[in-house]
């Protein structure tokens, strides 16, 4: 299972109790596949992390994992093995800027 940590405002919107979401991601574990799975489980999050149409990350949302900033990585690049194995979570973070 892929572990994802969402920022508090989105946990409230999606009515997620607890700190992490566990997602079953079939196939390659990439930012795109994880976000697809997240939005499929919680449709209310569509448009809040990435744009509805372009699928690009919103400007003030960041992706961290294993102490790396993956925000500028290709959405189709494999995520670190520790994320794919569930050892480490993917952190979706509201940047300390933006409003």
Q: Does 5 sit near another protein (CB under 8 A)?
A: no
Are 91 and 58 spatial neighbours (Cβ–Cβ below 8 Å)? no
Q: Does 99 sit near another protein (CB under 8 A)?
A: yes
CA 29 vs CA 37, 60, 87: distances in Å: 10, 23, 13
CB nearer to another protein: pick between 3 and 50:
50
Q: Does 75 sit near another protein (CB under 8 A)?
A: no
Rounded-to-integer distance, Cα 62 and Cα 18, Å: 20
Interacting residues toward another protein by CB under 8 A: 7, 9-10, 13, 44, 46-49, 52-53, 58, 60-61, 94-95, 98-99
């Amino acid at each position: 299972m892929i572990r994802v940590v969402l920022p508090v405002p989105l946990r409230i919107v999606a009515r997620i109790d607890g700190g992490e979401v566990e997602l079953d991601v079939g196939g390659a574990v990439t930012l795109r596949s994880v976000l697809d799975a997240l939005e499929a489980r919680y449709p209310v999050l569509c448009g809040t992390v990435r744009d509805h149409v372009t699928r690009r990350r919103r400007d003030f949302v960041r992706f961290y994992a294993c102490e790396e900033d993956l925000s500028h990585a290709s959405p189709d690049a494999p995520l670190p093995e520790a994320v794919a194995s569930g050892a480490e979570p993917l952190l979706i973070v509201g940047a300390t800027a933006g409003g």
